[in-house]
Amino acid sequence: MSVNIYTSDVPISTANLSIAVVSPDEHRRNAATIALGEFHTGPIREFISYPPNLDDVSNSLGNNFDVIFVDLDSDPEYALDLVENICSRGMGTAIVYSSQADPDLLVRCMRTGAREYLMLPFVKDEVAEALMRASALRLTARPSNKANGRLLVFLSAKGGSGATTLACNFAVSLAQESRQKTLLIDLNLPLGDVAINLGIQAQFSITSAFQNSSRLDAHFLAGLLVQHSSGLYVLAAPSELAPTYVSSDVIDKLLVVACQSFDYVVVDAGSRLDLQRKHLFDDSATVYLVTQVGIPELRNSHRLITELSAEGSPKLEIVINRYDPSSMEIDEKHITNALTRPAHWKIPNNYAAVRRMQNTATPLSEHSSSIARVIRQMARAACGQPHLPEKKKKFRLFA
């Protein structure tokens, strides 16, 4: 049988995958072939030895395989070189398998470009899930002749302004409203909270992209992503402390590759004002400057607006978060003067809705709330959808 899953209304099937199994050991090769045969009806070709010449791998294995399973145990060092060669040439998705539960070997495999590390004896569900992810990779890469996707950056005027919450829920709404491929990148280092907010667990993180920038392309990037139930793809921040400094060239390359692969790329930049890289803040991007009604936030906003209003800067949209006109100590006139322009978006203050979202990892779009409605309008505006009319309140004679 073949495995099928449905995500974002797009069926992902493993039936059409062409698979190669490379192992000099007959027992391990047969184990892989038998395990695959239980889930896969497409072609499976066995190679009874490693290619003798790594410089000629494409001729030895061919370029017609979607997935290449490589046995590590026959010769781990040579197998790692083989996997790196396969991945660097874009010959297919590399999946390695071994009887060794070696964390160091796992890390080395990831760095060579392997997308999965399966243990012997094979577990049926793990093999099936690996095939599903490999099939999903084929849908992630987009032909290079398509126009680059739009870059949408959420930047906080001050830490704690809620940029991550807005970025996560905006990205989910954008994926749902546009029905196009949407990626959320967590650049809020050293500890980003995108994965926690969305309730997802990522095997790889943005650190993997930074450490392997020389091999970073659409195929490599696809292997680092995790997909949310909404259809949104996510490149998460690491769960451990990450370096706060990353060269501008590496960030630029990541964003260029992402925009070549997705229709929309949403970036949570947090309050990292040092992330003003060439591609992140050029005139092709849109920056959502997230602020609040407070003296420190408005002061920082004024300074950032001045800097981001120069020629060649991105389109700027000001977002006032936790907006509650009934409790503000600064009036609208002074807010507008501080920002040098009216705010584009005002996100209502709704503590209960946000706390529920954070505690349950359920996007705001899953429940009706004043915040969810405004964020949905933001997403529709970003993808060119018309503004939704406000629902008229029903008249009731009695409360």
Task: Please tell me the predicted confidence (pLDDT) of residue 4.
Answer: 37
Statement: 4-140 belongs to CATH 3.40.50.2300 = yes
Rg over alpha carbons for the chain, rounded to the nearest Å, is 24
CATH for the 150-382 domain, from 3.40.190.10, 3.40.50.300, 3.40.50.1000, 3.10.510.20: 3.40.50.300
Q: Do domains 4-140 and 150-382 have the same CATH topology?
A: yes
Ranges under pLDDT 50 in the chain? 1-12, 142-144, 399
Residue 190 preceded by cis peptide, ω within 30:
yes
Task: Please tell me the predicted confidence (pLDDT) of residue 5.
Answer: 34
Residues 6+ apart with CB under 8 A from 211: 111
The residue ranges of every structural domain in the chain are 4-140, 150-382
What mean pLDDT value characterizes the chain?
84
Tens-digit pLDDT profile for residues 98-148: 998 888 899 899 888 888 999 999 998 888 888 888 877 765 554 445 568
Task: Please tell me the predicted confidence (pLDDT) of residue 147.
Answer: 67
Task: Please tell me the predicted confidence (pLDDT) of residue 32.
Answer: 92
* Pair type for strands 182-186 and 285-291: unpaired
Helix (H) or strand (E) holding 395: none
Residues 6+ apart with CB under 8 A from 28: 71, 73, 74, 97, 99, 120
Task: Please tell me the predicted confidence (pLDDT) of residue 361.
Answer: 85
- Record the pTM: 0.66
What distances in angstroms separate CA 106 from CA 76, 204, 210, 338, one per listed residue? 11, 12, 18, 52
CA distance 240 to 238: 5
* DSSP per-residue letters across 243-294: -S---HHHHHHHHHHHHHH-SEEEEEEET-GGG--TTTTSTTEEEEEEE-SS
Task: Please tell me the predicted confidence (pLDDT) of residue 277.
Answer: 55
